[in-house]
Amino acid sequence: MKFGSLLAGEKEEQLENEKTIEKKLHEAAINGEIPILLQLIQENPQILTSKFSSIPNNPLHTAVLLGHLDFTKELLNRNLQMANSLNSHGSSALHLASAKGNLGIVKYLLLINPDICSVLDRDGRNPLHLAAIKGRVAVLGELLRSKPEVARELTGRGETCLHLCVKYNRFEALKVLVAFMKKDDQFVNWKDSDGNTILHVAVAKKQIENLQVINYLLANTRVEIGARNANGWTALDVLMQSPGDTRDLEIKQCLLHRSVSRSEQHTPFLPFDTELPENDTTRKQPKNHKHTDWLGRKRNALMIVASLLATVAFQAGLSPPGGVWQGDYEGIPNGTKAQKPHEAGQSIMAYTLPPAYNQYMIFNTIAFLASLSIILLQVSGLPLRRRRWMWTQMVTIWIAITAQTITYFITFINMTPDHVTDTVNYVIKVYVLGWLSLMGIVFIGNISRAMLYVLRKYGYVKEKERREPLVYVEEEENDEL
């Protein structure tokens, strides 16, 4: 029993000594203190071959994380195998140095063993992937020079280093990789586990930097604009399916313009009088692009205006001029009943100016419901892609704007004190006259276009023949409805 206890005690003491040495070595690595490292090695020559179970990173990983190049060299000179060791996250020293951008350490580690570039951590990423994520341009160049084939390795999600650059907005790193892999169209068009190319990822993010990325990819690579992901969506479909954004139109125009430009490179220019076969869609395709783009812009504009009008009308309905009563009132305490009792939350204007309040609420309700009608039509999913449907929605929004304007003038008139009514009346006459003139011009213009469309449709008026080039060019919108 005594002998067994003695052995157990010696083992515990040995473990404590190892932990103490590991702690001292870890502290030396944190501070980059080479003399302490040499002293510890002299005390225990086998210290660098231990497993360092008490800390997540061994001394090499710690020194690399903190950028101690000389300390790193001293460790590796004593034990080259440490370069292949992995920490608790499955990362090698090269993973850590690449992520931190420590170029000197990266170069030294690559001299010892370039094959470490292909080691994947627990997230399925190699050192090149981490350098791409962090945007370490200099490190990327060094890794590509040392081990070019590592650029084609994929992450656990099937992503290339190009996917990671786009995903994490590393534009400069992306340019380095595109220049290196420019002639490899298969790599540029590689799809991740969701079937997304780098163009899908760039369009989905819709950040300011990504508009620059999209332009760069379309101008400098052969990325396929029409490639479809696992959902069967192209990059343009991804844009249209995502929530609306102020950059949607810019990205859409960029994709359409580049798509047509590429098709032009493969489309021979023919004289205007050359007849095309019936199955040739060279002429029709660009026109359809223009038509779709025009309707898309109109729909987006109508949706934005309708949303703003609905918000203003809703707020005006909840907060009428003069506000609402803050308490109930049925009469004075002696029992005399009030002539006009009221309850908290009711409109003050409804009691003081009933006719004006009625007008105010009627026109405000018209503006609110007309705006909601536009929003409902836009999100209903109905096939409202014809010009006549767009014209109907434009008339509806015209009604909403007019009703909102009348609501404003009713409020303006009834909120103005009597001693400034002359000035107010003059201002109202001028602006109302100007507004009515503008509305009249818009109304006459739309009626004229509608009549012209009907006359052309039934053959009473012939449309002028126009020659269109076979290649797509940007032109003015058609005057037809």
Residues 204 and 194: their CA atoms lie apart, in Å, by 13
Which of 191-195, 223-227, 242-246, 326-330 is the least confident region? 242-246
Long-range Cβ contact pairs of 191-194 (< 8 A, separation 24 or more): 191/158, 191/227, 191/229, 192/157, 192/158, 192/159, 192/160, 192/163, 193/157, 193/158, 193/159, 194/229, 194/230
Q: Higher pLDDT residue, 30 or 281? A: 30
Predicted local distance difference test score (pLDDT) of residue 245: 60
Mean pLDDT across the stretch 5-10?
Answer: 53
Nearest alpha carbon to residue 347 among 358, 337, 336: 358
Q: Higher pLDDT residue, 450 or 349? A: 349
CB-based contact 206:245 (threshold 8 Å) = yes
Local structure of residue 274 (DSSP, 8 states): P
**pLDDT over threshold 70, residue 118:** yes
Predicted local distance difference test score (pLDDT) of residue 220: 86
Q: Higher pLDDT residue, 26 or 162? A: 162
**pLDDT over threshold 80, residue 33:** yes
**pLDDT over threshold 90, residue 133:** yes
List pLDDT tens digits, range 277-324.
Answer: 444 433 334 344 444 445 566 777 778 888 888 898 888 888 888 788
Mean pLDDT across the stretch 149-157?
Answer: 90
pLDDT bracket for residue 14 (50, 70, 90): low
CB-based contact 115:148 (threshold 8 Å) = no
**Token pair in block for residue 284:** 């029709």
**Percentage, residues of the chain above pLDDT 90:** 20
- 3-state SS, residue 117: helix
pLDDT bracket for residue 137 (50, 70, 90): very high
Predicted local distance difference test score (pLDDT) of residue 452: 80
pLDDT bracket for residue 241 (50, 70, 90): confident
**pLDDT over threshold 50, residue 213:** yes
pLDDT bracket for residue 244 (50, 70, 90): low
pLDDT bracket for residue 334 (50, 70, 90): low
Predicted local distance difference test score (pLDDT) of residue 18: 65
Predicted local distance difference test score (pLDDT) of residue 384: 57
**pLDDT over threshold 90, residue 3:** no
Residues 70 and 105: their CA atoms lie apart, in Å, by 9
Please, what are the domains in the chain?
1-153 (1.25.40.20), 284-324+341-457 (no CATH)
Which of 32-41, 46-55, 77-86, 400-409 is the least confident region? 46-55
CB-based contact 82:48 (threshold 8 Å) = yes
Query: Rounded to whole angstroms, what are the CA distances from 268 to 271, 272, 469?
Result: 10, 12, 11
**pLDDT over threshold 60, residue 70:** yes
Local structure of residue 320 (DSSP, 8 states): -
pLDDT bracket for residue 92 (50, 70, 90): very high
Q: What mean pLDDT is reported for the chain?
A: 77
Mean pLDDT across the stretch 434-448?
Answer: 78
Long-range Cβ contact pairs of 301-304 (< 8 A, separation 24 or more): 302/374, 302/378, 302/393, 302/394, 302/397, 303/244, 303/374, 303/375, 303/378
Residues 86 and 66: their CA atoms lie apart, in Å, by 17
Return the number of other C-beta atoms located less than 10 Å from residue 384's C-beta. Answer: 15
pLDDT bracket for residue 336 (50, 70, 90): low
Predicted local distance difference test score (pLDDT) of residue 304: 86
Alpha carbon dihedral 357, 362, 368, 374, in 10-degree steps, equals -170
pLDDT bracket for residue 473 (50, 70, 90): very low
Residues 142 and 64: their CA atoms lie apart, in Å, by 17
pTM of the model: 0.53
